[in-house]
Amino acid sequence: MSSDASPAPPPVTLREVASAAGVSVATASKALNGQGRMTAETRERIRETARRLGFRPNSLAQSLLRKRSFTVGLLTNDTYGRFSLPLMAGVSDALVDAGVSVFLCNVEDDPRLGQLHVDAMLDKRVDGIIATGKRIDRHLPIDLSNLRIPVIYAFTQPDAGAIGFESDDAGGARLAVEHFCALGRRRIAHVSGPASFAVVHERARAYREVLAEHGLPAAEPLLGAWSEGWGHEAVAKLFDGKGRAETPDAVFCGNDQIARGVIDALRERGIGVPEEIGVIGFDNWEIVAEATRPPLTSVDMNLATLGREAGLALLSLVGGQAALPGIRKLPCRLVVRQSCGRPVGG
């Protein structure tokens, strides 16, 4: 017997079958497992390709797949979809290649409605649930801690011992204030939302820290509603009865609506933005930021990326992989438009 026999070729993978059949991995998986919606012709073509290539599915993997519904529930109380819709786009992006569908249920702030939706999801045998909301310091009005399926929390307060994803609000505030400092702004005010929100204090703390690092004074943040009206009102508090040396040359705002109110109020006073005062918002709500005049520089919380990471984490849990509990903070990014001006001498 020859001692230099060639090693056996590696087994054909599902990805190779999908590529040869001209379909996605998810479609190939569904066709070979008798699941999913597709024409009989497509299903047979994929199966014939698998036979021709000698594909042999892993029997354990097949048994696991048959117990899955390939659906994931997304629960939210974000009625307007301001945060949940971009997050859902990221979740869907993560799951689509695995052939998993996502359906959204709005629980508002109603525990009874929330329980109805959770019961419906369990009846449909969803593989897991992603819970999201409109603020990171509040639970959804439904207990998800004792379900027998994986649960991931994103942009809402997680249960103890669970996995949560949220944006790094302090890091986002740092990006804004550092940008102002790099532009040569020296009297930077901060106008934000209600004191009852944890993110308000996180961003204010970062605002103070950056200014201290640059040897600049930090004014007491002005706190009010998340609204254009409050932004307009805040300008009066910043400017009325004060000399030029006492007024800011930049305003970092807690959200884009406040920033838009600030810019409108400054325009009414004949104060140029960004020539005399730079303005930065938070959230990068494009429908507001791009329609502001001038277009608003804003901190983007990268909600689609956050959703994608939450989706991938859920897939791992569904697949039986262990993961440490706790909160994962994802970085924000600064989207620079025209409301800040150019660097000194630029």
pLDDT of residue 59: 46
Pick the CATH number of 69-168+303-332 from 3.30.450.40, 3.40.50.2300, 3.30.70.1050, 4.10.1240.10: 3.40.50.2300
Residue 3: band (very low, low, confident or very high) from pLDDT cuts 50, 70, 90:
very low
**Rounded average pLDDT over 71-97:** 89
Q: How confident is the model at residue 97 (pLDDT cuts 50, 70, 90)?
A: confident
Q: Taking 80 as the threshold, does the pLDDT of residue 119 lie above it?
A: yes
Q: What is the CATH number of domain 1-53?
A: 1.10.260.40
d(CA 188, CA 299): 16
Task: Identify the CATH class of 169-300.
Answer: alpha beta
Distance CA 98, CA 310 (A): 14
* Band of pLDDT at residue 34, cut at 50, 70 and 90: confident
pLDDT in the model for residue 58? 57
The residues of the chain that CATH labels 3.40.50.2300 are 69-168+303-332, 169-300
In the chain, what percentage of residues exceed pLDDT 70? 93
Q: Mean pLDDT throughout 100-112?
A: 90
Asked whether 30 and 69 are in contact (CB, 8 A), the reply is: no
Instruction: Give the pLDDT band (50/70/90) at residue 62.
Output: low
Taking all residues of the chain, what is their mean pLDDT, rounded to a whole number?
90
77, 45 Cβ separation under 8 angstroms: no
Least confident of 5-19, 252-266, 295-309: 5-19
Q: Greater confidence, 23 or 4?
A: 23
pLDDT exceeds 80 at position 129: yes
pLDDT of residue 346 exceeding 70: no
pLDDT at 345: 45
pLDDT in tens, 193-215: 999 999 999 999 999 999 999 99
- Residue range 98-110: mean pLDDT, rounded: 88
- List pLDDT tens digits, range 153-179: 999 999 989 999 999 999 999 999 999
pLDDT at 217: 95
- pLDDT score for 66: 56
Model confidence at 2, in pLDDT bands (50, 70, 90)?
A: very low
Q: What is the mean pLDDT of residues 320-339?
A: 95
Ranges for all domains in the chain classified under CATH 1.10.260.40:
1-53
**Residue 11's pLDDT band (cuts 50, 70, 90):** confident
Q: Tens digit of pLDDT for each residue in 262-276?
A: 999 999 999 999 999
pLDDT at position 96 is 79
- Please check whether residue 83 is in contact with residue 154, taking contact to mean a CB–CB distance below 8 angstroms: no
3-state secondary structure string across the chain? CCCCCCCCCCCCCHHHHHHHHCCCHHHHHHHHCCCCCCCHHHHHHHHHHHHHHCCCCCHHHHHHHHCCCCEEEEEECCCCCCCHHHHHHHHHHHHHCCCCEEEEEECCCCHHHHHHHHHHHHHCCCCEEEEECCCCCCCCCCCCCCCCCCEEEECCCCCCCCEEEEECHHHHHHHHHHHHHHCCCCCEEEEECCCCCHHHHHHHHHHHHHHHHCCCCCCCCEECCCCHHHHHHHHHHHHCCCCHHHCCCEEEECCHHHHHHHHHHHHHCCCCCCCCCEEEEECCCHHHHCCCCCCCEEEECCHHHHHHHHHHHHHHHHCCCCCCCEEEEECCEEECCCCCCCCCCC
Q: Is the entire prediction scored with pTM above 0.85?
A: no
With 60 as the cut, is the pLDDT of residue 60 above it?
Answer: no
Work out the percent of the chain whose per-residue pLDDT is above 90: 70
